[in-house]
Amino acid sequence: MLTAYPTHLRLFLWPGKVLYFGPSPPLGQHLYGAAAIHVGIYKPFQIRINNGAAVECSCVIIPPGVNHEIDFGQGIHGKMFVEMDSPEFLLMRQRFPYRMRSATTFHDANLVNCFRSIYEDDPTKDEINARLSRLLGEVPGTPAIDPRIRAAIDIMRNEPDRNFSNEHLAVAVDLSPSRFLHLFKTETGNPYRRFRRWKRLMTAAGEFHHADNMTHIALNNGFTDSAHFSNCFHQSFGVQPSFVFRAIKRFEVMT
């Protein structure tokens, strides 16, 4: 680790949004269930998409479902996940346009400075919200997702321990199973099963805020055991959950 850099690990969770700061080992192949912005806080990093050549960048947006590897070279990075049903999603697409099927690399000094200031200053949660609002703009309202898909997401969110089948949710929102799967991917950018796993991982991550029994948290969120949870976490983030939650210096669940 480069000792010239502060190395605090911080994690903030909102409904539909996640913000992480800190060091990271090289992240093996993984894919997200939400759009992600990665920022090199102090120096560029390397990203490899779908086993292609490594590309150096200071900022990148990775859509859900894009397989990639990242090496931060012992640097510090910030990343923000924004789900398509989050109020900030439209703002992020307007502020940082990106391709839906591949990573988009770019440099934005305001983005880097915003993330660096949050990381170094360690501001209150209200100030974090204010800085992100200055970066993205004011939230215009809830994204216009089909109300049937939003109803299905609400059912999943309210009962995270249940692995609802797509057939069950299709009946609940008055769609055929095939129409439900097609519409779900169109509206969220994810196949249903990937989105379901992502939501369960996010709910489980929030429970680490007040408990550290991985087995209990895994079972409470529909995973068969702690090994199943760890495997799904690694597939989604490229790192084991123990690296994040055992080294964390500040962890807040926002409302």
Of all residues in the chain, what percent carry a pLDDT higher than 70?
A: 96
Name which of 29-43, 50-64, 82-96 the model is least confident about.
82-96
pLDDT band at 251 (very low <50, low <70, confident <90, very high): very high
Structural contact between residues 36 and 98, judged by C-beta atoms closer than 8 angstroms: no
Average pLDDT, the chain: 90
Q: How far apart are CA 204 and CA 160, in angstroms?
A: 9
For 113-129, give the DSSP string: HHHHHHHHH---HHHHH
Structural contact between residues 12 and 69, judged by C-beta atoms closer than 8 angstroms: no
pLDDT at 143 over 50: yes
Structural contact between residues 198 and 188, judged by C-beta atoms closer than 8 angstroms: no
Beta-carbon count within 10 A of 128 CB: 20
pLDDT band at 144 (very low <50, low <70, confident <90, very high): confident
Structural contact between residues 63 and 34, judged by C-beta atoms closer than 8 angstroms: no
Summarised one tens digit per residue, pLDDT across range 92-130 is: 988 998 888 889 999 999 999 999 999 999 999 999 999
Structural contact between residues 72 and 23, judged by C-beta atoms closer than 8 angstroms: yes
pLDDT at 2 over 50: no
Q: Would you give the DSSP letter of residue 23?
A: E
| pTM for this entry | 0.88
Summarised one tens digit per residue, pLDDT across range 55-86 is: 999 999 999 999 999 999 888 999 999 988 78
Average pLDDT over residues 41-62: 95
| Structural domains of the chain in order of their starting residue, each with its CATH number | 10-141 (2.60.120.10), 147-246 (1.10.10.60)
Bigger pLDDT: 24 or 61?
61
